Amino acid sequence: MSIEIKVPPLPESVSDATLVAWHKEAGDSVSRDENLVDLETDKVVLEVPAPSSGVLQEIKVQDGAVVTAGDVLAILDENAAAAAEEKAPAARSESKATQPQATDDRKPIKTSPAVRRLLEEHDLDETTVLGTGKDGRVTKADVLAFLKSDDSSNVTPGDPAPPVMDDGGFVGLERREQRVPMTRLRARIAERLIDAQQSAAMLTTFNEVDLSKIMSLRARHRDAFEEKHGVRLGFMSFFAKAVTESLKKFPVVNASIEGTDVIYHNYYDIGIAVSTERGLMVPVIRDVDQLSFAEFERDLGEIAKKAQSGTIEMKELTGGTFTITNGGVFGSMMSTPILNQPQSAILGMHTIQKRPMVVDDEIVVRPMMYLALTYDHRIIDGKDSVQFLVSVKDLLEDPGRLLLQI
């Protein structure tokens, strides 16, 4: 019996998707619920599983094609499973035999669509690249580093010859360009950033925070916290809690504009920016004011993993009322974050540096961080933005107030 493999229903507000990559070829045996193909939308990658075991009889849509819900992607013959096991196509067997073999015993690790595309562009087998990601996962940075290394010379066709050095420096260096289309996520990010700059009156205010007490608190209770709750006590839970308490004091910072109306949100769904191989995503943690530190850290860990693995759902990326982004993990000293519309404010964290500070007329060394609050000046006045940021600073510098909610 032949079964049509169709594009599943797409997330709300998503009209189409791009077929990123097939994991099977025509003639391959497949198992029920095995992922056959990846579809990329503006925000998430959708996996299309096999509805039944059988043989992939025909592929109707090739990589790179734009599809909509209900489009037929392939034909599956569920009665041909036994025959396929007995007779594998000779051509495919020969092809697999000629592929580069791994230099060690590592098993192939699931990679993201972006990494698979890069591997395919350079005719690389993922087992030839040493993965530095979690559980040995091959990242985009791993592939790029491999292409620049000497190890890639025998497996990557078309690489330019290395430049020749003489007394005058490098000579004979070929000028090269590579044109690649934006991913749907990158194109969507670009569109939203331009929209934010053109439609909002963005302004940024800065302050700095002394993290001595938080770092001391974490050092004293980190092990006990992890032993009891099974999660690490990170910095983000302190910032999220400080933000939430400050939003209660300044509700306009938690508001948004809809037409000529201002919508005040009486809940606190905080978006946390997460860097992934596909680009920046902002998963949302709901009702942060009702979560304990441990519950927040657990939810953050789970949703960040889903964003990085490409399994996050659209509903987990929408509906936030405020966003926190941490450029400090990449070494950023100071920056001006851009609004995540339709939200009206975003807090930027930065790297922690020890600096000399004057405390009680004495110069002491303290771990300091610059904070940046970008806000929509159409509804948030400078007074509210500054006082909000001061409130966040005060709560972080005296974390006991977070527990007492004062």
Catalytic one among 377, 384, 394, 398? 377
Q: How many CB atoms lie within 10 A of CB 236?
A: 18
Under 8 Å between Cβ of 365 and 355: yes
Q: Is 377 a catalytic residue?
A: yes
Q: How many CB atoms lie within 10 A of CB 41?
A: 19
List Cα–Cα distances, 14 to 46, 108, 228, in angstroms.
12, 32, 42
Under 8 Å between Cβ of 248 and 270: no
Under 8 Å between Cβ of 21 and 47: no
Phi, psi of 46, deg, nearest 5? -100, 135
Measured CA to CA, the distance from residue 366 to residue 358 in angstroms comes to: 10
Q: Between helices 235-249 and 382-397, what is the axis angle to 10°?
A: 140
Q: Is 105 a catalytic residue?
A: no
Could you give the count of Cα atoms lying within 13 Å of 357 in the half-sphere of its Cβ?
Answer: 15
Answer positive or negative: Cα dihedral of 60, 69, 65, 127.
Answer: negative
Q: Which residues are catalytic?
A: 377, 381
